[in-house]
Structures are given as structure tokens and as C-alpha cells.
Amino acid sequence: MLAMVCSPAGWAQDKGCWRAASSTATAITGDIAIANNKITIDFATFTLAPIRALTAAEVGAAFNADVNAPGNGYLYRLNVPAGRRFMHHNTLCGTEDTQWLATYVEGRSLQAAFFSGPNLPVFTLDALENSMDRCGTFTYAR
């Protein structure tokens, strides 16, 4: 099914198909596909609303990335119900609905951080260290 939504012509930064590359991605989401207005996780599709590009400082704080490294980050709004189970019966945010997705692409690697809570995540080191809304960060590759 992911092959049908993934077209090389549609790849732009975080768009396209991504293979699970970290143990958390393998255990929870499996491979994912990101399109302009949707994300597919474990063969389930959810509406995705682009919010804004992340600054280099925000990417650095959220993904422990070098602020001078090439790459792009983006913030999306989505709604994945807390009861939605993925690989191995895991959820993205425990008992909370998943409401935000931040992505960072560098080369052929994608990092994705999921957040719960109705408020826009704050991407500073202090805010992220004290956040109860950050659900997890997953790594994918092409």
C-alpha cells in the first residue's frame, strides 16, 4: 500500500516513503509515508496540516542537530487518537491523542517527533526538557 502513495516525483524534503531506521520506529510505527495533506503509519492514514517551517535553532533543540548543518524541519498538526494501536500494539503518545508532528530531514534521513497536547510545541532546549507533551522521536531512512 505504501508503494502506491510513494512516487519519486513527489519527494520533496520530508515528503515520500521512509523506512523505519531506529528501534523505536521499528517497534511502534514501522515504515511511514508523508504526503502534502496526510501521513500513513502502519497502513493507517491520518490528515496532516502543515503549520510552518522550523528555524535552525528549533531543529537543533528538537533533534539535537547542528544548527549549521544542511537540512529542513517542519511542524504539522494532526490527530491520532490515543486508542489507535500500531506495530506490536503500541501507541504513539500513550493515553494522550497525538496532535503535533515535527520533522527534520538531513540527506536521506528523517527524524520525526510526535507531541500530544492542544498547545503548539515550544522548540527550545528548556521547554523540550520540561515538556510532558513530547511522545517520542523516531528515525527513518530512504
Q: What is the pLDDT of residue 68?
A: 80
Task: Annotate the chain with three-state secondary structure.
Answer: CHHHHCCHHHCCCCCEEEEECCHHHHHHCCCEEECCCEEEECCEEEEEEEEEEECHHHHHHHHCCCCCCCCEEEEEEEEECCCCCCHHHCCCCCCCCEEEEEEEEECCEEEEEEEECCCCCCCCHHHHHCCCCEEEEEEEEC
Q: What is the pLDDT of residue 7?
A: 40
State the residue for C-alpha cell 495533506: 37
CA distance 2 to 18: 9
Q: What is the pLDDT along the chain (142 residues), one digit of tens a residue?
A: 444 444 443 335 899 999 999 999 999 999 999 998 999 999 999 999 999 999 999 999 999 888 887 778 999 999 999 999 999 999 999 999 999 999 999 999 999 999 999 999 999 999 999 999 999 999 999 9
Q: How many CB atoms lie within 10 A of CB 51?
A: 14
Q: How many CB atoms lie within 10 A of CB 58?
A: 22
Q: What is the pLDDT of residue 13?
A: 87
Q: What is the pLDDT of residue 57?
A: 93
Q: What is the pLDDT of residue 70?
A: 78
Q: What is the pLDDT of residue 4?
A: 42
Q: What is the pLDDT of residue 9?
A: 35
From the number of C-beta atoms within 10 Å of its C-beta (0-12, 13-18, 19+), residue 88 rates as exposed
Q: What is the pLDDT of residue 66?
A: 85
